[in-house]
Structure 1
Amino acid sequence: MFRSRLVLMITDISGSHIVNINIFFKRIALYLVLLVLMLIVFAFVSIGVFRSEIQNIAQSNLELVEEYEKLTKKNAALNQKMNQRIEEFELVGDRVEYLEGMIGVASNAEDNKNAENGLQERLDKASLAGAQKIFFMKFIPNGYPIDYYRRISDVFGYRIHPILKSRHLHSGIDFSAEVGTPVYATADGVVEFAYKGFNGGYGHMIKIDHSFGFKTYYAHLDQLIVKRGDFVKKGQMIAYSGNSGNSTGAHLHYEIRFLGAYIDPKNFIQWNIRDFDSIFEKEKKIPWQSLLITTRTMMEQMAQPSLQVELK
């Protein structure tokens, strides 16, 4: 009986008291202690699990942050490329506008609003018009036959000849230049005449036969580079300027003739693709409309596949 009971002695100022407690209460106390211990262990385990979950969440958050930074960098790179494409597109638009101005094609404001389609259409129009004009100017004399000269010493028209002392038509333009200055063909053609000699006062001279009835004369030369029968391209060097023939000083005498008639070279040397239409107003002696139609027809024929196969 004694072992199944718990005896407690309580002492205070009034004396000592003995209290006997049943072992049942002792077990309850033990269970409470065990429960508390279990709760503590559970709390530690839960804290460990929560900590692991927090770490996993933190790791996932870091991965999301890294992915976000990658996407941000990628987006920035794409924006940069897009801005670059926009700048390139605007630059192309500016170049097309410049090309349109060069060849005299008016841009359509409505087309300009339709970014890509408008630009493509403008490119097609500019390319077509530009090709026609380049083709036209390739075969008809234009531009200067000499790059370096001191001055234009005489112009086209009637004058008192400096040697013959009589009124005489000066049939070309004289470019005062040092002996040995390069001289260039002003259009594609075939060398009809290339001879050193007096040549009726022209001195060493070259004649080039161009398309559509045009011819150019280059006189008072020093050295000839081409010979009769040679095909020459616009801008090709053909000779060096000199002081041969009836000449009072080193210069290049340059003439343009159309169907044998003298033409003032002034308008032709100033003619360029940017001011393409100017020649039609300045030079009225030439049937320009007929020439334009002829060159357009030639381009259309050259563009036909059957003709290209035959040419091959």
Structure 2
Amino acid sequence: MKNRLVVTLTTVHGSRQFFLNQLARYALVVFVLLAAVSFFISNPLLLKTSEDLEELAIDHEQLSQDYELMLGSQQLYKSEMDELSGTLNSLMSQKAQLEEENVRIGALNQSLDQSLEGLEQLLGLPISDTMTETRAEELQVMASKRLYFLHMIPNGMPIRSPRITARFGSRLHPVLKKRHNHNGIDFKASIGTPIYATADAVVEYAGYHKQSGYGKLIILLHNFGFKTYYGHLNKVKVGNREFVRKGQLIGYSGNTGISTGPHLHYEVRHLFTPLDPAPFLAWSMSDFDSLFSKVKDVKWASLKEMYPLNQSRVGQEQPSSQKEISSAAK
């Protein structure tokens, strides 16, 4: 029994003994020693490993936070880049629009300069070397005042006819065979040719006028004491006291009254005085002052006091239309 090792195991059912020989005893002792050594060695290692794992977990958590922060920053940078890209595209679009606008404005300015040069030509003025704002305003005022008079005083053709058969002045009457004063101009025209008002007016008379021999007659009363007569008409398109505008259709040519053939008899009168219609037919925007110098029976100088010519302030230069009227009437 000396060389045996007795191992006793006790349970609820009782005790039981196991006998080990010396070799087994040595093996058990070695096992116990190794287990003890392993315990004392592995325990610090386990503690060290546990600490390392905790540090790794902390590092992992920090890395996760850094990664999320990096992702957030990346999204922010991407958003900023997208915004910058959009702003750049908008700026490029605005630049292109500005370039197009500059081209359009340049073309507009060129067109405006050409229009103003054309206006100078239309007004019969010499072309300016440079078009200034002051010059443009002067041209606008001059054109407005000329248009005012061209609408108020008879001018231009009352009919589209290439042939004049009788002019103003003394002549032998083709029907009565006596010399008399022909107070207007006769235009050869087929029956039914349109007749137009030569200025803004009110209809003084429209109908058949037996006493004058003009047959169907229209008399228009214009501003400043002017009247126009349209005789031998075939048809009248306006009525008494109607207002008509320059260029409006008022009737059709014919052969009524004392007439040898279809034509239009056209007269221009100032108050009760017949005037030669020829200067009025030729009067236009570009030849504006010709009427005031050719028609002597009208006291044009008094027109300088009429509205809108009298709108200039005291001390300012006299408007060009006043100058033209005043100089032409001298």
Aligned to 1:61: 77
Structure 2 residue runs of 5 or longer lacking an equivalent are 1-31, 313-330
Q: In structure 1, which of residues 36, 44, 65 is the aligned counterpart of residue 60 of structure 2? A: 44
Aligned to 1:306: none
TM-score (norm 1): 0.64
Deviation at 1:139, TM superposition (A): 1.7
Deviation at 1:222, TM superposition (A): 1.1
Conserved? CA contact 1:185–1:236, under 8 Å:
yes
Q: In structure 1, which of residues 98, 118, 122 is the aligned counterpart of residue 115 of structure 2? A: 98
What CA deviation, in whole Å up to 9, does each residue of 1:178-235 have, x standing for no partner? 3223322222334344341455443322222322232211111112234455444333
2:256 is paired with a residue whose SS is coil
CA distance in 2 between partners of 1:228 and 1:94 (Å): 45
Q: In structure 2, which of residues 271, 288, 293 is the aligned counterpart of residue 277 of structure 1? A: 288
RMSD after superposition: 4.5
Q: In structure 2, which of residues 181, 184, 189 is the aligned counterpart of residue 172 of structure 1? A: 184
Aligned to 1:255: 267
What CA deviation, in whole Å up to 9, does each residue of 1:140-198 have, x standing for no partner? 1123323xx35223363566765567777654333333322332222233434434145
Aligned to 2:147: 134
Structure 1 residue identity aligned to 2:264? L
Q: Which moved more, 1:203-212 or 1:253-262?
A: 253-262
Q: Which moved more, 1:240-249 or 1:258-267?
A: 258-267
Q: Which moved more, 1:42-51 or 1:156-165?
A: 156-165
CA distance in 2 between partners of 1:76 and 1:173 (Å): 68
- Identity score, percent: 31
CA distance in 1 between partners of 2:275 and 2:109 (Å): 40
Deviation at 1:97, TM superposition (A): 6.7
Q: In structure 2, which of residues 154, 157, 165 is the aligned counterpart of residue 154 of structure 1? A: 165
2:308 is paired with a residue whose SS is helix
Aligned to 1:268: 280
Q: Which moved more, 1:87-96 or 1:137-146?
A: 87-96
Aligned to 1:244: 256
Structure 1 residue identity aligned to 2:208? K
Indicate the structure (1 or 2) with the bigger Cα radius of gyration: 2
Structure 2 vs 1, CA of residues 277 and 35 (structure 1 numbering), >3 Å: closer, same or farther? farther
Aligned to 2:326: none
Structure 2 vs 1, CA of residues 251 and 298 (structure 1 numbering), >3 Å: closer, same or farther? farther
Aligned to 1:214: 226
CA distance in 2 between partners of 1:28 and 1:123 (Å): 103
Aligned to 2:12: none
CA distance in 2 between partners of 1:162 and 1:258 (Å): 26
Whether 2:205 is the aligned partner of 1:189: answer no
Structure 2 vs 1, CA of residues 83 and 261 (structure 1 numbering), >3 Å: closer, same or farther? farther
Equivalent residues, number: 276
